[in-house]
Structure 1
Amino acid sequence: MTLGSGEEILKRADEMAQFSAMEKGLTRAYLTKEHKQAHQQLSHWMALAGLEVWQDSVGNQWGRKASSNPTQPTLIIGSHSDTVVNAGKYDGNLGILLGLEALKQLEGIDLPFHVDLVAFADEEGVRFNTTLIGSSATAGCFQPAWLDIKDSDNIAMGEAMLSFGLPPELAGKDARLPQEVKAYLEVHIEQGPVLEDLNLPVGVVTGIAGAKRYQLSVKGMAGHAGTVPHALRMDALCGVAEMITTIETYGLEHNVVATVGKCDVKPGAVNVIPGDVVFSLDVRSPVQGDLEVACNELHSQLEEIAQRRELQLTSELTYQAEAVPCNAELQQQWGKIVEKQTGTKACFLPSGAGHDAMVMANITDIGMLFVRCEKGISHNPREQVNAQDVTVALNCLVDMVQLLANPNSAEA
């Protein structure tokens, strides 16, 4: 491995960040000119690394390190190239560039399987508010109804595909079959502070948390702020305040994270008792059973608060995704490789955020490696990693590919 591998990857991340809809920032959405420009650049780099390149039915960019005599299904390495609005440079993109550099390092080695590197075109769902479009197409989960979803400019996804040069009727028709795929590997920034707190460059992901999101509505009675005594009020906001504290306490005491991120208060006047409040609830856990129990228990506790305060509570489930465990054997293999590369015991940790890997789990075993990011900041221009950690992650990924190629190798 060259000492400058990490620096070279970060330099390429800087170059990728130039393909942006923002003049002074990074925003790259699905089926935009920036998407096309970024994938043209990736295609160029893939070809320089000796990979066979192609674009699939939904605009994912692929590069293949072909085996001269493949005896096993194809190994897929990937992440996403799209970003949130005003993003950092490494979420998603770092995993693609690490995969690219790993295959470049392995260029002279003939493996018993093909290795496909993929840049998924849409994971964030910024343009059409439908996440994981790229990996869903690959894993056979693309929904034809998505083609009718319109963006903020009233352009349907199917129309955008046509403008991009993709026949919408073919979307997802080139999905991979389970028997064709050996495993899916993804390297990603942690997007959290655990590895930094432990002073570790990388960590092994145990699974991706399941999530449920709700919109809750609390109705009380608006009234004059100066004339209605506290004992006679039906203050919706005070009720919600108690609910939010209850949600926080529950999260601290159980194996879940629970977040209230939005709160809309009406009438919203300084001298009026709030009569209506709508707020969001996001509950996540790496264990699906714990998630289900938490949501049921939280709703019971919130309903008790509403009844005691003579408020009306309604709840609507707006999103759900099941928890997805990473393959146990891949976890063990990552762990041994991390210990070899760092000289310290590997850290195993769950992912609280969603990733393309959770969709790819529909067709194959998944294995993920996290890279430390500064202060755990992500989805933010301040997102940062260091070259030394990136080099460690690269070495781990190269070792993992070689270990999968030769499980009896003493070198990995």
Structure 2
Amino acid sequence: MRRALHLEPNAHLKQLAEISDTEGSLARTYLSPAHRRAAQQIQQWMRDCGMETWVDAVGNVHGRIKAAHDAQQTVLLGSHYDTVLDGGAYDGALGIIVGLAAVKGMLLGELMQRGTTGRLPEQLESKDGDVVIPPTLASSLLRFGSVHLVAFADEEGVRFGSTFLGSRAVAGTLLKYNMLAAKDRAGASLANVLREEAGVADPWVAAASLALEPGSISEYVEVHIEQGPVLEARGLPLGVVAGIAGQTRLWVTVNGTQGHAGTVPMRGRRDALAAAAEMVTAIESLCLQPEEQGGAPEEENLVCTVGELKVWPGASNVISGSTGFSVDIRSKTDPVRMRVVKEAVRAVEAVCARRGVPCAVDRKHDAEAVLADADVMEAMKAAAEAAESILKTTLTEEELSRHGGLLEGLRKVPVLVSGAGHDAMAIAEAVPRMGMLFVRCRGGVSHSPLEHVEPEDVTTSAAALAGYLWGRVVSGVMGPVRGEQGRDKTEL
């Protein structure tokens, strides 16, 4: 078990991080050479878990173990294998590698329980040291459901600027969002790229056929680094996600009057940049406002960000004639987000009217908040707390005592809200019974070469997910997930 849950996943994360299109940094963008090599490597690791595997028309890598018995439910796991430019080794990749380790750990744990010696058969060891499970054996061990893992081809949207490309294909919403029309910087549409680079004869027909049948999926579970500092600050390895914040992106354009910096009097100016600066501070104040003064409660995780600013003409001796800036507003619940968006637009309009400068606010993006399923959350929390027994047989005493003590941390698994978007948002449109498990990362840093998850925390997340899967599809002790159509409540 130590090899399957500790040595292999940590070695595989390092190996995957070495597959890059750039020298000295990590970059895997959609359908690049490194992207294709990563897909091949992930397929091999899926085969080692006893999975049948294939790559679909948009590049998603699928691995599946179908239960030998007539089991109806399938637990869907997933994360993405593309990266941002100059990214880190764990964003996206962690969910895939931990998913594979958990599947293997679940199967090996069941084999050890069934055996008379409590040890694994020697024939499961491959010549390079990794454990390899035959497909027929893997299938025979699943009594209450199947397991399906998807490595999504593109979540970050670096090439086409359209996030969740892979997961929307699986959810069946790729055409709904008109993503085949998205263009890369060279002007090539996704439809043309699929034809020319992926050999897809008819992208529309192919996209329509990629959706998994929602009725066959009992739930979707995704493991991801927290990308924030909360878990590390509390000294805790894992957190259960209650929901993913909704997001609105605006682009504000302010048109002033361009002029000479030395000759136009201050009181006669219509400075687009000065007006924009006032708007930025007004928007920031909206999200900083205390609850007792009408602001959002802290648990709403309301955040407002201006991350991009374009100034024309951008010269030190010229009054700006035009300034544009982005606004990113996120909250756990949509009513709060929508209220703050309206207030932000009103604040912009008020500054424009008072300063006498024309303004325009374009709404670029809206994503509704997604709440995790209560039953999945409860089962995942229970599995994380129960991972102690697995870790005691997987890690050494020294490893267990690091980072404030892993075992103690599992006795108080917190519930968090994700401010970042994840593939779970796209999948939830087709599979509402969604859950996520966060893993702490050093300094809360992500989308950076400094991104880091301690090896013991990787193992802890794999052990928790293995226990969750075992309870769902092997032993059945967690029972079926309760759905909207009156399914039975999860029994823990």
CA distance in 1, matches of 2:410, 2:187: 54
| Equivalent residue, structure 2, for 1:85 | 85
CA distance in 2, matches of 1:198, 1:158: 46
Partner amino acid, structure 2, of 1:164: A
Residues 317 and 192 of structure 1, relative CA distance in 2, 3 Å threshold:
same
Offset of 1:195 from its aligned partner?
A: 1.1
Offset of 1:387 from its aligned partner?
A: 0.8
Bigger proportion of residues as helix = 2
Match of 1:84, SS state, is coil
* Structure 2 counterparts to residues 2-401 of structure 1, below 5 A: 2=2, 5-107=5-107, 108=111, 109-143=141-175, 145-162=178-195, 163-167=197-201, 168=203, 169-253=205-289, 254=296, 255=300, 256-341=302-387, 342-364=409-431, 365-401=433-469
Q: Aligned-residue CA RMSD in angstroms?
A: 2.1
Contact 2:144 2:472 in 1 (8 A): no
Contact 2:5 2:105 in 1 (8 A): no
Match of 2:411, SS state, is coil
For structure 1, list consecutive stretches of 5 or more residues without a partner in the other structure: none
Q: Render the CA deviation track for 1:168-203: whole Å, top value 9, x for unaligned.
A: 231241311221111000000111111111111111
Q: How many residues align?
A: 412
CA distance in 2, matches of 1:57, 1:273: 51
Partner amino acid, structure 2, of 1:338: A
Offset of 1:35 from its aligned partner?
A: 2.0
> What is the TM-score normalised by the length of structure 1?
0.94
Residues 311 and 331 of structure 1, relative CA distance in 2, 3 Å threshold:
same
Contact 1:32 1:164 in 2 (8 A): no
Offset of 1:152 from its aligned partner?
A: 2.4
CA distance in 1, matches of 2:61, 2:248: 31
**Worse overlay, 224-233 or 33-42:** 224-233
CA distance in 2, matches of 1:152, 1:240: 28
Match of 2:253, SS state, is strand
Offset of 1:7 from its aligned partner?
A: 4.1
CA distance in 1, matches of 2:155, 2:417: 19
Residues 3 and 174 of structure 1, relative CA distance in 2, 3 Å threshold:
closer
**Worse overlay, 380-389 or 159-168:** 159-168
**Worse overlay, 50-59 or 206-215:** 50-59
Residues 304 and 18 of structure 1, relative CA distance in 2, 3 Å threshold:
same
Offset of 1:306 from its aligned partner?
A: 1.9
Offset of 1:58 from its aligned partner?
A: 1.9
Q: Render the CA deviation track for 1:114-137: whole Å, top value 9, x for unaligned.
A: 100110111111112222111111
Contact 2:270 2:355 in 1 (8 A): yes
| Equivalent residue, structure 1, for 2:132 | none
Q: Render the CA deviation track for 1:205-225: whole Å, top value 9, x for unaligned.
A: 111111111110112222332
CA distance in 1, matches of 2:87, 2:228: 15
- % identity of equivalent residues: 41
The runs of at least 4 aligned residues of structure 1 exceeding 6 Å deviation read: 409-412
**Worse overlay, 70-79 or 367-376:** 70-79
Q: Render the CA deviation track for 1:142-165: whole Å, top value 9, x for unaligned.
A: 118433433223433233323324
Contact 2:384 2:465 in 1 (8 A): no
Offset of 1:30 from its aligned partner?
A: 1.6
Match of 2:342, SS state, is helix
Residues 100 and 4 of structure 1, relative CA distance in 2, 3 Å threshold:
closer
**Worse overlay, 349-358 or 299-308:** 299-308
Q: Render the CA deviation track for 1:228-265: whole Å, top value 9, x for unaligned.
A: 33333222222211111111121122342111111111
Match of 1:337, SS state, is helix
Match of 1:179, SS state, is helix
- Structure number with greater Rg is 2
Q: Render the CA deviation track for 1:13-50: whole Å, top value 9, x for unaligned.
A: 11112221112211112222222211111111111111
For structure 2, list consecutive stretches of 5 or more residues without a partner in the other structure: 112-140, 290-295, 388-408, 480-489
Partner amino acid, structure 2, of 1:321: A
Offset of 1:382 from its aligned partner?
A: 1.1
Partner amino acid, structure 1, of 2:192: E
